[in-house]
Structure 1
Amino acid sequence: MKELVLVATNLMGAIPTSIFNISSLLSLSLSENNLSSNLPSNIGLWLPNLHGLLLVGNKLTGIIPESISNASKLTLLDLNSNAFTDDILPTTIGNFSASLENIQADHCGIRGNIPNEIALGKLQILDLSNNRLQGSIPDDICPLKNMGDLRLNENELFGLIPECLGNITSLRYLYLNSNKLAFVIPTRLGNLKDISEINMSSNSLNGNLPPQLGSFKVATLIDFSMNQFTGKIPSTIIGLQNLVTLSLAHNKFQGSIPDLFGSMVSLEFLDLSYNDLSDVIPKSLETLSHLSYLNVSFNKLRGEIPNGVPFANFTIQPFMLNDALCDAPKFQVPACHTSSFHHLRKKRVALALYILLQIASILLATTFVFLFIKCRRYKSLSNVDLLPTITPPRITYQQFFRATNGFSESNLLGMGSFGSVYKAILEDTTVFAIKVFNLQVEGAFKSFDIECEIMRHIRHRNLTKVISSCSNLDFKALVLEYMPNGSLEKWLYSYNYFLDMLQRLDIMIDVACALEYLHPDYSMPLVHCDLKPNNILLDDDFVAHVSDFGIAKLLDFGENVTHTNTIATFGYIAPKFGLEGLVSTSCDVYSYGILLMETFTRLKPTDEMFFEDMTMKRWINESLPNAISHVIDTNLLKLEEEHLTAVVL
């Protein structure tokens, strides 16, 4: 006898021990019966050829005998839906390393830890869900290169999700939901490029969702609900065109619902309820023809509920308890204004906004033309200091100390790689900025010498002026012109500050003029090497001044490229030069392009949405000219819309 199949035949009582003496058996299936009692202690001793053992859906109790490992050719072990009461499997399970491919033991009442010996080399399916397993997920699982289905959900597992799970690149199904797992999702899980379903709901996971989740290109189900995730919904998720089910409910996500959700054409189930999402429900969701379930309740959404397909089939429940949603009476929320005057106003605003966006795209596309014209206009002034030169007497360390209130944190303006900048008020009430170098940092001495040498020879209205210095063996500092409006970084990313479209354009023109002076106009071309928002300072009139020449490089006559050992800030480095330590004026031009895009989008080049092939440049190129509203800083659009509303009315 090679196969014994007695499925759903209403067998009762204990399994006869004689069955386990049929040494010729290849497959034994006694599933879906009422068999009870313990498994025989000699279950595997006389089954040397057994490949499949299926005891699903019975009432078996006790332990899983160690002798089962003597069935050394077993490839499938299915014990689902029984009532075992001891450790999941004996440590002798390791004897199956050359054969066992499929272990299924869900709903078995098993408790204890997952044994390290479960790491069987040929294992493809491991289902230990719906038990009472405790402890952490062992790293020993990670070398299982053939694993395609891992289900540890509905247990009491705690601790971290092992980062090395990202090494099991064969995984298609990963279910870790309903445990007590904590901390963040490892970024290495982005390596699971063939994952089809991933469920980590109902844990205590927190932090931001890693942008690497955008690698799940073939995923059809993602469920991270019932956790404590924060931050914005990562835009990288939006590129998952095969996604059918997405649940991010019961977290602490903030910001708006990404408009590009409308591009997820396969989406049928979307649950964003119980978060802190704000702004409007994107009308782009109307294009999701397969969407049959949507829930955005218990957020802070406002504005009109879209009325196209599939919204026509929804009830009020998915929209309940938001800030200010409005629509027709069917949703039992306040009606939006529907007068003809209101519609006319909306059309006018929409038309005006469309015109504004086209103008904005033209501005961005032709910025360099404006820069060239304006820089040439400034050229006659390039070598003239337009601000009065303030030359204090030589300043001692004691004067520095008093002027900064003992280098107090209340006087701290900012910190850089080589030191800190303080606001200093001298006894005659003159205000300066003092850059104090941290001489404990490698490279600080050289940075001080470079900045002193460079700033002694250059002079331009868009460069920060070095007025004096203090230098001895244990203290080095520069006295700089004070910039009351701080850095461009502050004005872009602080909630209490805002720059309108023209201010941003003027700032970028100022920076371009500074570069035009440093590159071709200066007697020896000078490469700044670290152009970024923190190094653009704004004076009383919001004139921009390029600062921090601590890693700048001078090019000799006829020299186009030089070498540096100090790498600039990641995200602003020209790939062709910076990563190899080679710099040229082209590096500054590249950094300027990044800075230009960042200034008008209010997104850093290191934002989580930019990874692998999706760079800031590519994102903007793909959005112009028809989707500029997706890339322009939303605060700019809101301000212009309010202004245009007032104009057209």
Structure 2
Amino acid sequence: MATAAAYCLPLFLLLLPPLIIAAPSAAAAGPELQPQPQDLLLSFKAALRDPSGALASWSLSTPYCNWPHITCTASSSSSSVVSIAVSLQGLGLSGDIDAASLCRVPGLSHLSLASNAFNTTVPLQLSRCASLVSLNLSSAAFWGPLPEQLAAGLPPSLASLDLSGNDIEGPVPPGLAALGAALQVLDLGRNRLSGVLHPALFRNLTGLHYLDLSGNQFLESPLPPELGKMGNLRWLFLQGSGFTGAIPETFLALEQLEALDLSMNGLTGAIPRGFGRKFQKLLSLDLSRNGFSGPFPDGVEKCVMLQRFQVHDNAFTGELPAGLWSLPDLQVIRAENNRFSGRLPEFPGEVSRLEQVQVDNNSFSGGLPLTIGMIRTMYRFSASLNKLSGVLPDNLCDSPVMSIINISHNALSGSIPEFRNCKRLVSLHLSSNGLTGPIPTSLGALPVLTYIDLSSNGLTGAIPANLQNLKLALLNVSYNRLSGPVPQELISGLPAVFLQGNPGLCGPGLSNNCVVPLRKHRWLALAATVASFITGAMLLAIGAFAVYRRLYGKRPSPWKLVLFQPIKITGEELFSAFHDKNVIGRGAFGNVYLIVLQDGQKVAVKRLVCSDKLTFRQVKSEMNVLAKIRHKNIAKITGFCYSEGEVSVIYEYFQKGSLQDMIYAPKFTLGWKDRLKIALGVAQGLVYLHHDYTPRVLHRDLKSSNVLLANEFEIEPRVAGFGIPCFVGEKVYRSSLYSDVNQKCYIAPEENFTKNPTNLMDVYSFGVILLELVTGRPAEQLASKDSSDIVRWVRRRINLVDGASQILDPNISHTAQQGMQAALELAVRCTSVKPDQRPDITEVFRLLQALYFSATMP
């Protein structure tokens, strides 16, 4: 053993010096083995799915500062210090986010993963990005709660945090307060945040310039008084987020505010005194759709930069602040649907920049401002449903951009002035006043005038002949004292005409025939005798035929055919076409038939069976209202046929069929942009029916089979089947509603127990259609193993970990998942069990419009 040791010891001593020498070398080489920025970025890229190849050129052959979507900025103090910005927004990326590698990139200061489709939770490792100044994760399909450890672990250098437009849920983590005064932008809008806002959240964020918590409908919180301590706050957006209670007095300390939006919440009480005086930099104020009450405080005239003043749909009383109207930059005043009173003050004339004034449904009295027409920028003036009196100003329509005037339902008197200067006037509503004198002939010279409602006044004289030169969608002159012949084109070429209540009017189809010259009486007497003989013979023939039909035929009799468009069809042809071979649709209220006319034109006829004893006059009155609807997304009613016990409605026909036909096809191949276009069109049609058409129309039978697809190359939806209860009667409507198995899931839950239908029932039905478009599934799948309707099917999966992947139509490209996720969230809101949690169709339209715009961006 000793001998072996003697041999081994020298060998060890020979090896020892090299080891001692090598150790410092290895230590010196240590930093060189650290991953370089390009290696870390490539590791981050390897975990992503990049279907468009946006990051394909990232490679070691090129310096990473020259890679697309990478920006390097040298420090002003040292050329060796580099700040790196990674901007990957809108690239259609998905997959895993290797935040551990990304956050090791030295100098990473700006990171944007916005507008992608990651469909995952917010990575906790992002808290390791120690030098971040800006983090943008907006609209990237993140879901789940925002972890407290992430919020508390974000670097103190962070100045901007944007998590908006995702599906982040749960409470707002109080740990965000640790970011302190360095944070300037915090955007958590349009998520699913819930609960009460913790007061500690805002105590330390004194450096915030921008705060957005809007669109978080599950928040149930009062407005935190601590918000008033953010003295640097310039933009505050809290709309549509379930806030309750009053505006805290501390808000008066936010003197730097430029935009304040508290709309669409549950706020109540009076506005704090001095509210207006404090906000001298305010550009936009929106307090609409709340429950505010009491007078609006004086002092708003101190907001010398104010451009938009929106307080509509509250319970404000008293007068609007007098100084409001003279603010130099004010463009919009919306105060409709309140209890304001007093007089409308004179406007500042030509120096004013007002564009839109809406003060409908209040208690304003006195005369109209005489300076309305002097404002060169005014395009909409609406003051209906008030107590205004006096005469219409001569310059009412002198603004060169005036498009909409609505002063209906007031106590105005005198004559209607000549409207010669308003070449852009589209809509004129002066109904239900005390106006007298003739209808101005100058109306017929306004090139884009489309809607005229002068009903329920004391107008006299004849209807001007030149009105038939206009492309009118509505002419309502009913219940006046008009007389004389009605211009022929207004009777035959325009369905949207209301003439009733004017006994002196005469013309074809009216109760009075026009008086003819005396020299023609002899010939007319002879013609009348012959006509009487022929008519008598025809009546005998028709009577005999009716008896025959009653005894031996199955067709109802007699029938009355009314056409609103010049189509070649008779009642006989209509009923003879009611065969099963012509059926193209079946529903709870009757079948839809395809009928080919003599000239080859095709029409669709919906045959409605009625048990209520509606007279022909009642049906015609209701039909006249619906036939006047003119909108690009509403199917035209071209006529109807009445017979005791049924009404047959004639619609324009579209060869592409209905949305239901497309969904029930073996493979629903329609792309996401086209699906969005259909949803947007249907929503736009409902906005018109609910808000823009007078009188308001509720659909009450909205389903995918009533969404018709036009024949143009690009799909354009048309809503049909509206107004069914008007024809079949309310009893028949309710009893038949649930008999159609394909209809049940479109019905809002409250339909069972409410007597008064609301527009939110239509919103529910629309939400079901939107679910069909998002999932690619029919609303009902009775033959399927999973036969539950689509609303229940979605609700079971929406809260699962991978719920979205199970719900969204797999046939749609992954690049569209972000938009589909947003549409899914909107559809779930529309189909909420509680009506008050559903959005109004106008909000639905705006959100879909934004989604469609994003989907069509290059």
> Comparing both chains, which one has the higher relative contact order based on Cα–Cα distances under 8 Å and sequence gaps of 6 or more?
1
Q: Could you state the TM-score of these two structures normalised by the residue count of structure 2?
A: 0.38
In our comparison, the structure showing a higher alpha carbon Rg is 2
Q: Could you state the TM-score of these two structures normalised by the residue count of structure 1?
A: 0.49
